[in-house]
A and B are shown apart, each in its own frame.
Chain A
Amino acid sequence: MTFDYAPAPESRAIVDIPASHGLFVDGRFRPAADEAVFKTVSPASEEVLSEVANAGAEDVDAAVRSARKAYESWSALPGSERAKYLFRIARLVQERARELAVLESLDNGKPIRESRDADLPLVAAHFFYYAGWADKLEHAGFGPAPRPLGVAGGVIPWNFPLLMLAWKVAPALATGNTMVLKPAETTPLTALAFARICQQAGLPPGVLNILTGDGATGAALVAHPGIDKVAFTGSTEVGKAIARTVAGTHKRLTLELGGKAAHIVFEDAALDQAVEGIVQGIFFNQGHVCCAGSRLLVQESVADEVLAALKARMSTLRVGDPLDKNTDVGAINSAEQLARIRELTEAGEAEGAERWAPECELPSTGYWFRPTLFTGVTQAHRIAREEIFGPVLSVLTFRTPQEAVEKANNTPYGLSAGIWTEKGSRSLWMANRLRAGVIWSNTFNKFDATSPFGGYQESGYGREGGRHGLGVYLDV
């Protein structure tokens, strides 16, 4: 007998999406100077959700000027007063968490279970955490009189739209900087909803400006001479371009870029838990995660067992409507991203790796990709080297811990890694040798406002979260 899941949709009635959105500059919404707009669609249905202003160079200039003006008073406020604004924002985010979660799932395509249980709680936590730092900066270990840098420019990706906003805005404002933030082109809506929260919180005009737009908007912001700090999360390619742009200027830079995390399973691991961890590691958020465990390194002696269990578990994943509370894997964020995933998986097959995906029905509209794994992958294959940023797992094997370390570190990236073993000393030995900024041992994809996040090598520099996340916004 098979049990079927009845549909369990989260109501979208809780969110009222305006038909058009302006830019949030100087505390008010206004159209782009040249009145340019673009449409944002739901990747699950291809339905147009709203029309959004497309900021040009003139708008960037206006936003930076507004932020500069606001900086004078914002940086002069006692830290305890800045803290209260951020606490207000944290509370308002909690109050409107359900609405924001639904909006995020609509615009991004991620399952409501994740936007509700991961994204939104973390967003609120980040504002609470950094609010508390605002009046304690002289005790944070950055010298007795740390100063803000000035106007920060933030450019964020589409995979965790509101969470990435929180990672930038909370520490920037807590330390007394003002900010111009550009959300990703395909996911502007929660940032604009957040702008309304700032209005409700009474945040002084100009302290945070939000410019929707495309890559050109981001490039103009990063290059603007009125910016003192750039914080970027996105692809390594764009990160390098930004590093070249700010070369020779006074601008400080933090980059949180791509990854190709090794997820290492030893023969003595609790295999059922490890399989859950592997699934969580690569299929969470459709694999649109820079720290996704996209390279499974499994010890040869248990490879067959792990693979069988993994396939069985993948067969139970529910792919579909992001607003259905039973959905495990939602929609791919855009047609462009879907094309990239297809291109790389086709390269995987062409290079000789063996592809497997469970049978599952996909919706007829929208952008979808089955949870997929590749076996017979070598380190030379593109699917083992390049970031796919989708629900695609490459499986490799190893015999000795030393070999696992060498394979894991054989990448220009270095964002995260996972280790599954029941032996504590081996776990710590591995953790010492893996060149990555976040190591999850017997767990994966865990995030917290107090925990620094960021990479080694070409995964970027600087840390977000925790005490470390303050330093990158301070002149010390």
Chain B
Amino acid sequence: MSEPLPVLKTYKLFVGGAFPRSESGRVYEVTDAKGQWLANAPLASRKDARDAVVAARKAFPRWSGATAYNRGQVLYRVAEMVQGRREQFRAEVAAGDGLSKSKAAAVVDAAIDRLVWYAGWSDKVAQVAGGANPVAGPYFNLSTPEPTGVVAVLAPGGSSLLGLVSVLAPVLTTGNVAVVVASERAPLPALSLAEALATSDVPGGVVNVLSGTTAELARPLAAHQDVNAIDLTGAEGELATELEVLAAENLKRVRRPDPAEDFASAPGTDRLLGFLETKTVWHPTGV
């Protein structure tokens, strides 16, 4: 008897904890490195981007107000879910990034490890980035880091899972919420990661994943007045400059792309600290 016909997955966006199609009704063909058709991915629109920002803003109070311990647990749970879907991610990464089976396996394992690494940071970053300030007067004075808010994340084009996890996890562990624009060429690992996120107790809206044309989605996000920061990692050359100019309108915090960034090597703390605000509280001491 022959193999039963596989049930193919319809890849969808991830917005506000739900899996909608693009409101535009558009899709685009995703191919592997050799040009072989893999799937159709939603070609998200400006409207989808705006909806994602609304969902993210709504999710911000709960996620930023959760205990750091809780956020760490949830992120660790994401690692568990990716581990459970290891085979699927290996296949998607191999096809999307044009890697051999063994290299794709190593990349998926590294992505899981990265999630675990950042999960552990959630309740440590405040002690590293904040602290007491010895002011010259009778005052209690304490600086603590707080999440910046809604962060638009342009995921790197060339590293569809490890790169994505490397830019997303530090944003989440510090209490920010994200609107992610997946790798334009290889969006399938990102859309599948959304399924892992949805089953990991990540509250709806904390991560929103859009697939489509980076330039089309990045412009409205960079110009959006309710986005607090933008990570331009997935934008290149003149597009990055254009987006940085748009971001100046409400003084978004901007992380510029670094073409030399190697996602395979151990990360430092700069991505953790990049989307944090320092709040300093004073109070008099006395009886």
Please list the residues of chain A having a beta carbon within 8 angstroms of any beta carbon in chain B.
125, 141, 143, 236, 239-241, 243-244, 247-248, 255, 257, 412, 427, 431, 436-443, 446, 448-454, 456-458, 460-461, 463, 466-468, 476
Contacts and interface: CB of A to CB of B under 8 A. Distances in A.
Interface residues of B, number: 33
Interface string B102-135: 0000000000000000000000000010010111
B134 A450 contact: yes
Nearest to B132: A450
Interface stretch (B50-58, B88-96, B184-192, B279-287): B279-287
Contacts of A438: 279-282
27 contacts: A240-B249, A243-B247, A244-B248, A248-B238, A248-B244, A255-B251, A257-B251, A427-B283, A437-B279, A438-B280, A439-B279, A441-B282, A441-B283, A446-B135, A446-B137, A448-B133, A448-B136, A448-B137, A450-B136, A451-B133, A451-B141, A451-B280, A457-B250, A460-B251, A461-B253, A466-B143, A468-B278
B277 interface: yes
A446 B143 CA distance: 14
B143 A452 contact: yes
B154 to A, nearest CB: 15
A247 B244 contact: yes
Contacts of A441: 281-283
B70 interface: no
Given A247-B247, A248-B240, A461-B253, 6 more contacts: A236-B251, A248-B238, A248-B245, A439-B281, A448-B133, A457-B250
Contacts of B141: 448, 450-451
Contact of B282 (A143, A443, A468): A443
B199 interface: no
Contacts of B25: none
Contacts of B137: 446, 448
Nearest to A447: B135
A452 B134 CA distance: 11
Contacts of A449: 136
Contacts of A440: 282
Contacts of B134: 450
Interface in B219-255: 228, 238, 240-241, 244-245, 247-251, 253
Contact of A456 (B128, B136, B238, B277): B277
Contacts of B240: 248
B262 interface: no
B135 A451 contact: yes
- Which of B128, B133, B244, B270 has the most CB atoms of chain A within a 10 A radius of its CB? B133
Contacts of A443: 139, 282-284
A442 B133 contact: no
Contacts of A448: 133, 135-137, 141
A451 B268 CA distance: 25
A400 B93 CA distance: 52
A179 B279 CA distance: 28
Nearest to B249: A240
A451 B251 contact: no
Contacts of A240: 248-249, 251
- Which of B228, B268, B279 has the most CB atoms of chain A within a 10 A radius of its CB? B279
Nearest to B248: A243
Interface string B256-287: 00000000000010100000011111111000
Nearest to B240: A248
A449 B137 CA distance: 12
A456 B149 CA distance: 10
Nearest to B141: A451
Nearest to B273: A471
Contacts of A467: 131
B245 A244 contact: yes
Contacts of B253: 461
A49 B139 CA distance: 39
- Which of A442, A463, A468 has the most CB atoms of chain B within a 10 A radius of its CB? A468
Nearest to A414: B277
Contacts of B136: 125, 448-450
B283 A442 contact: yes
Q: Considering the complex of A and B, which 4 residue pairs feature the smallest CB-CB distances, nearest first?
A: A248-B241, A247-B244, A243-B248, A448-B135
A194 to B, nearest CB: 22
A476 B284 CA distance: 35
A206 B135 CA distance: 32
Contacts of A436: 279
A335 to B, nearest CB: 29
Contacts of A458: 250-251
B266 to A, nearest CB: 13
Contacts of A241: 248
A213 B206 CA distance: 48
A350 to B, nearest CB: 27
A240 B228 CA distance: 14
Contacts of B238: 248
B117 to A, nearest CB: 17
Contacts of A453: 280
A446 B282 contact: yes
Contacts of A236: 251
Contacts of A476: 270
Contacts of B133: 448, 450-452, 466
